[in-house]
């Protein structure tokens, strides 16, 4: 573009400051608008582009019971890489398609042709309520009406976020999956505590959202540990946990085993801890397995009130006096099979079928005892009990008898 030149006759003054003065004097209106910030009216604010959040890129979906659980990470910047100052609103879109009969048993879903429609909007103030470990987690509950008369449905989801009313983010990655009616949650879970395990029993599910339950492939048993003891005052009495009063878990519900029948025995537990149990049934749809939602949650604090078994094989042998040592009765018996046995007690009586008195002051750690306090000529009846770490004492063993003959007494 050619430069403008002014002749001396028109007052051209060389130098930057003088040139600016000449510009202001020749074009005063244009200059005033320029110095005010452009061609807009004086004082009029400039309109800025509303922020557009970046697209969600990690949307995932999985069926859990009759819910489809969506997880994704919220964007923290705009499409032009500026930081988002506030938490955006979340818009979740969904589309259903019927599954052709020929592919109703397939786990793969082709791209849905129906455009997703808005399912739910989560306002910015409520987004934190759906955040789990830094991710948004939303459960979409599927109803019988959603299935209609179909045994399976294809469903597709996308997510958008919005930092202003004018512009939403681009679409997230789309996720599609095939869903099936899950069995109804199991009810009536019974829990029984025994010395060697906690036994759970339940009634198999009878129906789904759309009708009868297909083949039940098995059951999954879940267990979590709570931070507080169960409220029940009855020893080893389970209690059903209301859905609105689930205690804080010390460890989450994790699968501890599977069962083909409606019963399960948990042997990997500790007395004194409080556990919550849940059972889920697994329905078989051809090659696809669908797990039900949690059963009613059952809480229990197992207490060890179970004594060990009575010791076996008690033998009483009289040991003659030797080297100035008096005669005595030596007792021995078999070691108890329980792993929590702390020790043994020895009882002696001079009458059969009488409990007698305990001879040892402290628990015996080994299955042997010497009775050095016998009276020659008297006959004794001995019995043994086992005591576990919880202080439970077994019933007495079968008695063994013995004594020191009077003539065996050594005369000094």
Q: Assess whether pLDDT exceeds 60 at residue 23.
A: no
Model pTM? 0.73
Residue 107: per-residue pLDDT: 44
Both structure tokens of 392 = 């439970």
Residue 169: per-residue pLDDT: 96
- pLDDT tens-digit series, residues 250-282: 888 999 999 999 999 999 999 999 999 999 999
Kindly provide the b/e burial profile for residues 368-395, where b requires at least 16 CB atoms within 10 angstroms of the residue's own CB: ebebeebeeeeebbbbbbbbbeeebebe
- pLDDT tens-digit series, residues 68-93: 999 999 999 999 999 999 999 999 99
Domains of the chain plus CATH, in order, are 1-42 (no CATH), 60-179 (2.60.40), 190-300 (2.60.40.10), 315-408 (2.60.40.10)
Q: Assess whether pLDDT exceeds 70 at residue 182.
A: yes
SS3 147: helix
Q: What φ, ψ does residue 33 adopt, rounded to 5°? A: -65, -40
- pLDDT tens-digit series, residues 293-307: 999 999 999 999 999
- Quote the distance between the C-alpha of residue 135 and its chain's center: 17
Both structure tokens of 198 = 């906690």
156 and 112 in contact (C-beta within 8 Å)? yes
Look at the block and give the residue holding tokens 């006759």: 9
Residues ≥6 apart with Cβ < 8 Å to 220: 255, 257, 258, 279, 280, 282, 291
169 and 52 in contact (C-beta within 8 Å)? yes
Residue 98: per-residue pLDDT: 76
Say how many residues make up the chain: 412
Q: Assess whether pLDDT exceeds 90 at residue 292.
A: yes
Cα distance between the two ends of the chain: 140
Q: What letter does residue 244 receive in the DSSP assignment?
A: T
């Amino acid at each position: 573009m050619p430069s403008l030149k002014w002749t001396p006759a028109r007052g051209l003054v060389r130098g930057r400051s003088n040139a600016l003065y000449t510009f202001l004097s020749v074009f005063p209106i244009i200059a005033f608008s320029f110095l005010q910030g452009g061609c807009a009216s004086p004082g009029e604010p400039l309109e800025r582009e509303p922020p557009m959040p970046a697209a969600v890129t990690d949307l995932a979906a999985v069926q859990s019971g009759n819910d489809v659980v969506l997880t994704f990470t919220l964007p923290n910047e705009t499409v032009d890489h500026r930081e988002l100052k506030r938490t955006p609103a979340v818009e979740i879109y969904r589309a259903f398609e019927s599954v052709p009969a020929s592919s109703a048993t397939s786990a793969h879903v082709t791209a849905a042709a129906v455009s997703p429609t808005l399912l739910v909007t989560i306002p910015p103030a409520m987004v934190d309520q759906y955040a789990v470990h830094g991710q948004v987690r939303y459960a979409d509950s599927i109803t019988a009406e959603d299935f209609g008369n179909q045994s399976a449905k294809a469903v597709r989801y996308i997510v958008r976020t919005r930092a202003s009313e004018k512009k939403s983010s681009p679409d997230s990655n789309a996720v599609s999956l095939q869903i099936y009616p899950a069995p109804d949650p199991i009810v009536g879970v019974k829990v029984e505590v025994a010395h060697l395990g906690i036994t759970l029993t339940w009634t198999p599910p009878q129906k789904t959202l759309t009708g009868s339950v297909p083949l039940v492939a098995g059951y999954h048993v879940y267990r979590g540990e709570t931070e507080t003891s169960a409220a029940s005052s009855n020893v080893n009495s389970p209690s059903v946990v209301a859905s609105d009063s689930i205690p804080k878990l010390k460890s989450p519900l994790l699968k501890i085993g599977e069962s083909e029948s409606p019963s399960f025995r948990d042997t990997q537990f500790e007395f004194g801890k409080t556990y919550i149990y849940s059972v889920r049934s697994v329905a078989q749809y051809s090659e696809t397995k669908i797990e039900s939602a949690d059963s009613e949650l059952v809480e229990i604090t197992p207490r060890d009130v179970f004594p060990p078994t009575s010791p076996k094989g008690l033998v009483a042998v009289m040991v003659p006096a030797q080297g100035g040592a008096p005669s005595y009765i030596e007792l021995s018996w078999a070691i108890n099979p329980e792993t929590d046995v702390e020790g043994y007690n020895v009882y002696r009586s001079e009458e059969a079928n009488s409990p007698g008195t305990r001879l040892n002051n402290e628990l015996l750690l080994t299955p042997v005892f010497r009775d050095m306090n016998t009276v020659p000529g008297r006959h004794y009846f001995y019995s043994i009990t086992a005591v576990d770490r919880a202080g439970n004492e077994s019933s007495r063993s079968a008695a063994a008898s013995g004594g020191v003959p009077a003539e065996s007494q050594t005369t000094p």
